[in-house]
Amino acid sequence: MDEKIPFWRDDRVLKIIGQVIAVVVFVTVMLILGSNIARNFQSLGITFGFGFLRRAASFGIGDTPIPYTPSDSYGRAVLVGLVNSLRVMILGIILATVVGIAVGVARLSDNWLLKQIAGIYVELFRNTPLLLQLFCWYFAVFLNLPGDLENPPRLPGPIFLTQRGVDMPWPDGTLQTWLSVAFLLISAVLAFIIWRRRTTAMVQRGESGRSLQMILIGIGVLALLALIFGLQWDRPNLSEGAITDGLNLSPEFGAVLFGLIFYTAAFIAEVVRAGIQSVTKGQWEAARALGLRPTLAMRLVIFPQALRVMIPPLTSEYLNLAKNSSLAIAVGYADVYATSFTTSNQTGRTIEMILILMATYLTINLIISLGMNTFNRSVQMKER
């Protein structure tokens, strides 16, 4: 390096200078904005702090999955909202996946009519705003259910559909219920293990799997009995213009849940379809040539390969569902966004509540991403 490069043409120096400038500018902008906030606050006589979260909220919340009274603190109110959000997100993700897979498979069905219906559904729900769909679900569907409780529509169960929401049987929270739930969980895990072993036995050793199938059926019967009798269902009763007992799901909850499910399912259906289509036809043919039945070929050959393609876009759909649940505020469902918004309004603590909201949503997103990434790693090809 005899020939000296002037520093303004030296890459390494330039890079460092550029980055230092970037940091300086970033910090300066942040400082200016911060001081603006501080000055604005000072002139309005507002102080910054999270102490207000301990004060009594004194506003009511419609859906309270965990005990809450207006004398509880703002913090508790936000927590109720968070539980409400998680309720919608978890149920939404599970159900949207089920509906989405069903529709995605239907779009590839041999049946022309079914294929067309699935196609129309997907196009219609993907190409209209979710907010509009929420309004439709709430005002045009749920609030149009019969309002008088004399003779509401009754589905078997009994499940009642009224303007007050959906009333359905729900397990009583006794010891027996919890024992049954534990039993159901154990039998589900057991059944899964046996099912995996049966599949391996059938594929690798060419066994019939009849004996293991009998065990599976036995577990199923036991689980069904536990489900029906063990859980101690608390059925809703219709008496004198009021529905008592059972579980009441408010129309607000219903509107948000249905809106999210059917909107997201349309996207998931496309992910599923693209995933299955991404598996080449040769795989199908090879699987059939090996003598696998179509269902087995789908389960053992096609679906695992499709899953690898599907998981990344599926993750982003789940993230979208979680974020979209914040639209609940439009139909009066008290999710974390709505309760934080009310709190910020009652207390004037906009910045604090925005920080809490940001932290909440980023955490939820992180959890979903981490979960899906772990899942993704487990299904990716294990090569070499």
Partner 1 sequence: MTTTNPEPSVIAAPPITQISPGAWVKKNLFSDWFNTILTIVCLGAIAWLGYGLLTWIFTQAQWQVVPANLRLFFVGRYPAPLMWRPWTALGIIAVSAGLTWGILARSTWLFNRTGLIFLGVLAVLFVALSVPVSLNTSLLLLAILGLSVAAAFAGQQIGQRFPTLVSWLALGWLGIFFIVFGLIRGGLFLREVRLDDLSGLLLTLLTAIVSIVLSFPIGILLALGRQSNLPVVRWMSIGFIEIIRGLPLITILFMSSLLVPLILPPNVRIDRVVRAIAGLTLFSAAYLAENVRGGLQSIPRGQSEAAKALGLSAPLVTVLIILPQALKAVIPTIVGQFISLFKDTSLLAIIGFAELLGISQSILSNPNFLGRYQEVYAFDTVIYFCCCYAMALASRRLEKQLRTENR
Partner 2 sequence: MSKWGSLLLAMMLAVAPIAACSSSSDTAGTEEGEGASGHLSTVLGRGSLVCGVNGQLPGFSFVNETGEYSGLDVDVCKAIAAAMFDDPEAVEYRNLSAQERFTAVQSGEIDVLIRNTTWTISRDTSVGMEFAPTTFYDGQGMMVPVASGVEDLEGLAGKSICVQSGTTTELNLTDQMRKIGAEFTPIVFDDEDAVYAAYAQGRCQGVTSDRSQLTARRETLAAPDEHVVLDVVMSKEPLGPAVANGDTQWSDAVKWITYALIQAEEFGITSENIAEFENSEDPSIRTFLGLEGSLGSDMGLPNDFTARAIRAVGNYGEIYERNIGEPFGLERGPNELWTNGGLLYAPPFR
Residues of this chain that interact with partner 1 (CB under 8 A) are: 15, 18-19, 22-23, 26, 33, 36-37, 39-40, 109-114, 117, 123-124, 126-132, 135-136, 139-140, 267, 270, 273-274, 277, 313, 316-317, 319-320, 323-327, 329-330, 337, 341, 350-351, 354, 357-358, 361-362, 365-366
d(CA 316, CA 141): 29
Q: How many residues bind partner 2 (CB under 8 A)?
A: 46
Q: How far is the CB of 254 from partner 2 (least distance, A)?
A: 12
Task: By CB under 8 A, tell whether 174 contacts partner 2.
Answer: no
Angle between the N-to-C axes of helices 336-347 and 74-107, in degrees from 0 to 180, rounded to the nearest 10: 150
3-state secondary structure of 167: strand
**Which residue reads 């890459």 in tokens?**
11
H/E element, 362: helix 350-379
**Residue 350 token pair:** 């906009």
Q: How far is the CB of 115 from partner 1 (least distance, A)?
A: 9
Site string for partner 2, 49-68 (x = CB under 8 A): ---------xxxxx------
Q: Which stretch binds partner 2 (CB under 8 A): 78-86, 119-127, 306-314, 326-334?
A: 326-334
Tell which residue, 328, 330, 326, has the closest CA to residue 357: 326
d(CA 124, CA 134): 14
320 binds, among partner 1, partner 2, none (CB under 5 to 8 A by kind): partner 1
d(CA 48, CA 61): 26
Half-sphere exposure of 95 (CA within 13 A, CB side): 15
> CB-wise, 9 or 382, nearer to partner 2?
9
**Residue 194 token pair:** 């046996």
Residues that bind partner 2 (CB under 8 A): 11, 14-15, 17-19, 21-22, 25, 29, 40, 43-46, 58-62, 70-71, 139, 143-144, 147, 163-164, 242, 250-252, 329-332, 334, 338, 341-342, 344-348, 350
